[in-house]
Amino acid sequence: MKDIKDLNEFLGAHFLYTYDNGWKYEFYVKNKNTVDYRIHTGMVGGRWVKDQKADIVKITDGVFKVCWTEPTGTDVSLDFVPNENKLHGVIFFPKWVHEHPEITVCFQNDFIDVMEASRVKYETYPKYVVPEFGKIFYKKNEGINNEKVISEAPYEGMIEKMMSQELAFS
């Protein structure tokens, strides 16, 4: 991915990054109000989501904010600075996700009812807030509405496989 300036160049972006706490995430800016993501490692490693609605804006040249609230009650705010291969993310987990992360480790699209029932059944407060910087180690524009970018569950060794395939094709 070349250096980018405007929102239209951010749409379609696919990133892999590692937060400073060690959590590895994958993120696809599917279109102007939709994201897909996969969580490779961390508290909710194994979770993946398609078609999450989000607010996506340009803050200034090359700086983009993406934020949304999830069916679990988790709120997320991400600031991407792709030209510097970095981001800052804040995840606001409800108390119940911190205490029962395994309930959310799934392909969420198939379990929206479970997420909604859990957020009523369990406690929300105090929230568990995770503010972290992260380093982007892979970035590519895959075009908008590309269903192939995030299309299967994360598994051990997936990132290494993706990176080796990328090297083979470059």
Residues that bind ligand 4VP (CB under 6 A): 25, 27, 37, 74, 76, 78, 89, 91
Least distance in Å: CB of 168 to ligand 4VP?
Answer: 27
Least distance in Å: CB of 117 to ligand 4VP?
Answer: 19
Neighbours of 32 (CB within 10 A): 14
Distance CA 69, CA 137 (A): 26
Rg (CA), the chain: 16
Residue (83 or 92) nearer to ligand 4VP, CB: 92
Least distance in Å: CB of 24 to ligand 4VP?
Answer: 10
Distance CA 118, CA 80 (A): 31
Q: Is the peptide bond before 71 cis (omega within 30 degrees of 0)?
A: no
**CB environment 7-28: b (16+ within 10 A), e (fewer):** eebbbbbbbbbbbeeebbbbbb
Give the catalytic positions in this structure: 25, 70
Residue (162 or 164) nearer to ligand 4VP, CB: 162
